Structure 1
């Protein structure tokens, strides 16, 4: 499905990146990607110096090493995955740069074939969702996979005391055609009570800055087990069928247990 469109932008999944999408009539070329970056920078996005989305670039070294050394992000033309990667850089510039630095550090230590640290960074980069919670009880419900309590009994808390903010660009790509089984990898971040009264752009900016600082410590998010599953179609407002409580009876999707334990961080 390579037809250019922006129909997906109405879904809450794309809220952090929505403001950066200009009214392109067709897929951006190199000039379009340059304009996309310049537009974001002019709007105040704290993009890394030298960042550029370079069409059809084949890096001579590791993908992450090339970005770290040059600021050039290899970007395939007419490719949804790479389009959403560019949007993720614009929406989460500090965190994306910190994820890249983490890869570069791991590669320098000999983790070229990936180990737990790089696996966690890649999983979060591709499928990550930051779940901001002002009430630790809600974060615990997510961590414990108590779906009916989280999505039904605590339904009114969504948007007021808990919210999901998408970072993963592969998640944005699969969001073009949501399906039962669609799942993100959640990182729970505790925030102060007034966080949800802030403008949405300020919420994203604060999460971005805090997450970047955390990611520069390799003891944080040290393995994929630090992330917990989040069935995205269960989030109130993200899928019309979840208005019916019976939707959550599907235990193949809303699984009651998991093997890994997650980490909760405070922003």
Structure 2
């Protein structure tokens, strides 16, 4: 299981019932006072959530505006922005307003698909072990997919291998129209191929965000790596035209595999 990130202003623990990957790391900066540290961390978590939802695509508010919005001091805002800048989510340029850093949009299947395809082309055998393949409810993911909170979603959790070497921990949620994929053998079959074959569903667009993270002890154990080793954490929203079909969270080893992007 991945570490989880609690809802806004909740405490961060080792696990949560939703089982989502925790893409946030420990932060530095701000006051030594525990109450102040908790406050800036809450603001930081909410800003990160809003960044990932695309609320600041056109412009990012200044410290004064953020201070008024969150009803906190500017020093608290600066403490919240510091780790976001260190993580590369927000720019920090003297004399210029901050901006959200956008990850370049890849072809419709993006770098995750490209990595797995490259493994296959290299002659290595690609296979998966299935941790879960079920219908389940997840209000947070349902919101990302634009469906009601009580909607049944297709949930598939897999460990991906290149030959016998663990490559990635992969979790995907699909809208109910893709339920036929649960009847497919996904141990050696690409999910997108199965979707096209059994459900006549083909992604036409997508948006991926790639983060660099360090593996927790449990993640490292599953990936046969060392704790704190580098990894790619990738969030993906896959669409058919303007309609969301897929939400995916993938944790990929960064110590033996590299993603290279080629632009036209």
| Same fold, TM-score > 0.5, yes or no | no
**The structure with more strand, counted as a fraction of residues:** 2
Please say which structure displays the higher CA radius of gyration: 2
Q: Which has the higher contact order (CA 8 A, sep 6+)?
A: 1
**The structure with more helix, counted as a fraction of residues:** 1
**What is the TM-score normalised by the length of structure 2?**
0.24
**What is the TM-score normalised by the length of structure 1?**
0.24
